[in-house]
A and B are shown apart, each in its own frame.
Chain A
Amino acid sequence: MGSHNQRPNIWQRLHIDLPLLIGLLALMAYGLVVIYSAGGEDPALLERQLVRIGLSLGIMFVVAQINPEVLKRWAFPIYIMGIILLLGVHFFGEINKGAQRWLNLGFMEFQPSELIKLAFPITMAWYISKFPLPPKKRHLLGAGVILLIPTLLIAKQPDLGTSILVAASGIFVLFLSGMSWRIVGTFVGGVLAMLPVLWFFLMHDYQRTRVLTLLDPEKDPLGAGYHIIQSKIAIGSGGLSGKGWLQGSQSQLEFLPERHTDFIFAVIGEEFGLIGSLILLALYLYVIGRGLVIASRAQTSFARLLAGSIILTFFVYIFVNIGMVSGLLPVVGVPLPLISYGGTSMLTLMTGFGILMSIHTHRRFIDR
């Protein structure tokens, strides 16, 4: 590749991919603008989000310096530790809002599922790339075990959103590794066949309610349907160009719940209309496109699979969140990546982007 022979520029030496960074910063800036409006023009809220952004950028920068080969070496031990922590949550975790997700370490509360979110795709990519690609059936079986353990443990907490994200990141690795279409087909068929089992035996009542609510939110407009109805009203009443910044009645008058966190997309829809939504989707598409380019240019299968998985998981966040807020998918606790107010997801996501940058900027150190 051409860049081999050139002197590395300042960004390459910092292990930063500028096109990706610009996309990320644009999204974060957009998020700040919306959070200011959604949070009732509270400067303290903005300040805290700014601190988080700074912290996330710092972590991204640090992670970008780590050679992917190091990650590859540490992936499995971190994965094992994550599983142990998840089990710990299962037995000693704190219950918050009806779900057992947090582990109190004495000095801080810690969500092991976030660690798994990072460690899992690395482990998966490491495991699959050990063998020649496309993977053989027995390797896929092994991968299936690695995938199911954390997915089920997280789903049990219960945290459906995270377990979907974790499972998706693993499945992306498998798909990108080139597993045969017949297996893909069988898998999709299997999932569809599993849906009734999922519905009747595995899902909690509140999760079933969410799905039913999605199908007919007007049935219980003040109860389960309230979030979806208010969110659709907010988006729909935004029209083509929106009601204007700080002018969204649904968000400013607090009809919209969780408007600066999970439902922030409704604020964008209401205040900036279809145009504002389009701009957001375009930014996301740009970041995803750049991520896939980075993945394709990576020099090892491990790096390719990892990068691909990270960027596609990023897309799952987007799709699940916007789908939920605009009434296409059931309500699942997934934030709008890089826009929603809140720390954990931003840190996790930016760590992922740090890995992407690392993959892209460490290429020349890898010999064939």
Chain B
Amino acid sequence: MAPRKRMAMHNHAAEASLFKRRAIFTFVCVVLLLSVLLVNLYHLQILSFKDYDTRSNDNRIRVVPVAPSRGLIYDRHGQLLAENQPFFSLEMVPEKVKDIPATLDALSEVIELDEEAQQDIIDSLKYHRRFKPLTIKNRLSESDVAEFSVNQHDFPGISVEAGLKRHYPHDGLMTHVLGYVGRINDRDQNTLQLSGEWKNYAATNDIGKQGIEKFYESLLHGKPGHLEEEVNNRGRTIRTLKSVEPEPGQDIYLTLDLKLQQKAMEILNGRRGSIVAIDPQDGGILAMVSSPSYDPNQFVHGISSKAYSALLNDKSRPLINRATQGQYAPASTVKPHIALLGLEEQTITEKTRVWDPGFWQIPGVERKYRDWKRWGHGWVDVNTAIVDSCDTYFYDLAYKTGVDKISNFMQHFGFGERTGVDIFEESAGIMPSRDWKRMRYNQPWYIGDTISVGIGQGYWTTTPLQLANAAAIMANKGKRYVPHLLKSIKDSTAKIDTPIDEMAPVELNNPMNWDIINESMKNTAHKSRFVDAGYTAAMKTGTAQVFSVAEDEKYDADTVAEHLRDNALIIAYAPYENPTIVLAVVLENAGWGGANAGPVARALLDEYILRDSWRTQ
């Protein structure tokens, strides 16, 4: 056989030793290649261990931030003004739902979800990442929650999520003070990133947008906690490794007196205007009303663009905080301050008398500045000038004092400057001066301008808060505080009062002058509106022209369009001997100050002073 023949040619020993050499060679190769594997493993497991260990932990550990609960807001007596309410929403993870339109349709049989809402959800899917939960419905009612929970098994990928949402139980009562929270937007995010606070907002949806909510955001927000969860490759939580509780925001107490605020709002009854009440003992704001107002709760849940544009376009401008942003001519309410300056400068004395024929003229000039009383007040001294609000007396006084002194003096009472109240929405108003006019209008100051300033008109504008603050300084005989809303902060254990910000007092050469003016204001009150009050009070009204009336014309409220009618103002405080409340009231286009703002002041002081006296009894 052929194979056998070939077999004969084999040299077995040579073949065996050839094989052995090759086998040894391959064994060496095997060892070398295994060494390559080993070196690679050494590189992975020893040299790069830290890196891979980190990446392995990144894989398996998910850090879930937990939002802190927002601090509550109370009034000075512990009445709740802003709270957190449990809130249920329906969330869907799009990638876990097979047929979304069909599912939504089925869902509409369980909870209310109309076709429009369904279409909105389908539309918004385009801009939504498939693995992130999408809110299907906000503010689920309890029956919705119950109904859905029973049928939950029919809706994989859809779940009820619970959270806390800000709620303002008094609706629009003090929107301008509290402000509101709303969804964090890009601007908020930028601000937070700049201040380095952004890391604390990982789990937070809402942020203070206005008012106290914005000003004290850092107190109210708190510090987030987190959960470290172990997750598998599909992101499902296997177990919680570590849990760090969030630090809730601090509860704060405002200086507001809820009852007084309610009373003030009730009296305004939707009319355009503002009321500010301050405790002159420390500058705490007892009430701050801007009317009309609006419900802040609609902003918390995201206001519809329709509702928002309605607010924006409302002619009575509810979005503005009239108390701190409304700028009104102070009119006669600043006559006491002007008179005080006259006494201090010795331009007048307590006894100085001026003849009022019903008008006043700059010496040598034909033009007549009219008194509100056409036939004049006759001989008036400083007391009568304040009590009867004699314009002529103050035209003369302003003329003699000059704008420089007036402007300088009024700044001590806070006119033309922000008071520094603890909300951001505040305007400075205008305390005109020569420099100011040149800057603003590039015009020189005319004597006529000074005459208008003498009765709180012309370029002079103030906010109701400034007015109340100036009145408080008067009532305090020069003691000054920064008006503020924050009374105390609740620590984990105790309520800690925030320090009172006392400013350098206004000092007079002759402190007796305080008494002369305050006495006149008391006389004003008790000769008119407070004649039958069961307590002592002081006041000064004002009627500010919105519309200039020609020299010889008579102003007739009935013939002037409503928005051009006079603003009615008043400042008042009580009790006279030891004031505990100072008020400023501005009623837009309401007409005569004494007749319209007067009753408002009386009603509020009655509420506050008499209620307090009842309480002590």
Which residues of A come within 8 Å of B, CB atoms? 130-134, 172, 175-178, 230, 232-240, 249-250, 253-255, 269, 273-274, 277-278, 281, 284-285, 288-289, 292, 295-296, 301, 304-305, 308, 312, 315, 318-319, 322-323, 326-328, 368
Contact = CB atoms under 8 A, between A and B. Distances in A.
Nearest to B38: A281
Given A285-B34, A319-B34, 10 more contacts: A132-B6, A134-B18, A178-B22, A253-B60, A253-B232, A285-B30, A301-B15, A305-B19, A326-B41, A368-B12
A235 B40 CA distance: 11
A271 to B, nearest CB: 12
Contacts of B6: 130-132
B496 interface: no
Nearest to B10: A132
Contacts of B23: 176, 292, 295-296, 308
A268 to B, nearest CB: 10
A277 B18 contact: no
A237 B52 contact: yes
A175 B26 contact: yes
A269 to B, nearest CB: 7
15 contacts: A132-B9, A133-B19, A230-B59, A233-B56, A235-B52, A236-B49, A237-B55, A237-B57, A240-B45, A240-B49, A250-B59, A269-B44, A292-B26, A305-B19, A328-B40
Interface in B41-57: 41-42, 44-46, 48-49, 51-53, 55-57
A144 B459 CA distance: 108
B288 to A, nearest CB: 56
B37 A326 contact: yes
B307 interface: no
B102 interface: no
A236 B40 contact: no
Contact of A301 (B19, B40, B57): B19
A310 to B, nearest CB: 13
A172 B29 CA distance: 12
B11 interface: yes
B78 to A, nearest CB: 50
A177 B14 CA distance: 11
B38 A323 contact: no
B22 A176 contact: yes
A274 B27 CA distance: 23
A188 B295 CA distance: 84
A365 B53 CA distance: 57
Given A237-B56, A253-B232, A292-B26, A178 B37 contact: no
A240 B45 CA distance: 6
Given A130-B3, A133-B15, A319 B37 contact: yes
Interface string B168-180: 0000000000000
Contacts of A301: 10, 12, 15, 19
Contacts of A177: 19
B139 interface: no
Given A133-B15, A253-B238, A292-B27, A236 B22 contact: no
B231 interface: yes
Contact of A236 (B20, B48, B230): B48
Nearest to A328: B40
A177 B56 CA distance: 48
A278 B40 CA distance: 12
B230 A274 contact: no
A253 B231 contact: yes
Given A277-B41, A326-B44, A328-B37, A254 B233 contact: yes
B16 interface: yes
A48 B507 CA distance: 99
A295 B52 CA distance: 42
Interface of B: 3, 6, 9-12, 14-16, 18-20, 22-23, 26-27, 30-31, 33-34, 36-38, 40-42, 44-46, 48-49, 51-53, 55-57, 59-60, 230-234, 238
A232 B52 contact: yes
List the 10 shortest-distance A-B pairs measured between CB atoms, nearest first.
A236-B52, A237-B56, A253-B232, A178-B18, A249-B60, A236-B44, A274-B45, A237-B52, A254-B233, A237-B53
B437 to A, nearest CB: 68
A317 to B, nearest CB: 12
B131 to A, nearest CB: 12
B126 to A, nearest CB: 22
Contact of B59 (A132, A133, A176, A233): A233
B26 A281 contact: no
Contacts of B52: 232-233, 235-237
Given A253-B60, A292-B27, A235 B233 contact: no
A235 B26 contact: no
Contact of B45 (A175, A273, A281, A296): A273
B19 A296 contact: yes
Contacts of B48: 236
Contacts of A368: 12
A236 B45 contact: yes
A238 B60 CA distance: 14
A287 B60 CA distance: 37
A289 B30 CA distance: 9
Contacts of A315: 30, 33
A106 B190 CA distance: 69
Contacts of A318: 34
A14 B33 CA distance: 35
Contacts of B30: 285, 288, 312, 315
A240 to B, nearest CB: 6
Contacts of A327: 40, 44
B45 A269 contact: yes
A175 B29 CA distance: 13
B130 to A, nearest CB: 14
Nearest to A255: B233
Contacts of B15: 132-133, 178, 301, 304
B46 A249 contact: no
B41 to A, nearest CB: 5
A240 B37 contact: no
Contact of A326 (B18, B40, B55): B40
Contact of B19 (A176, A255, A281, A319): A176
A326 B36 CA distance: 11
A295 B15 CA distance: 13
A52 B283 CA distance: 89
Nearest to A235: B44
Contacts of A323: 37
A132 B53 CA distance: 57
Nearest to B52: A236
B192 to A, nearest CB: 31
A242 to B, nearest CB: 9
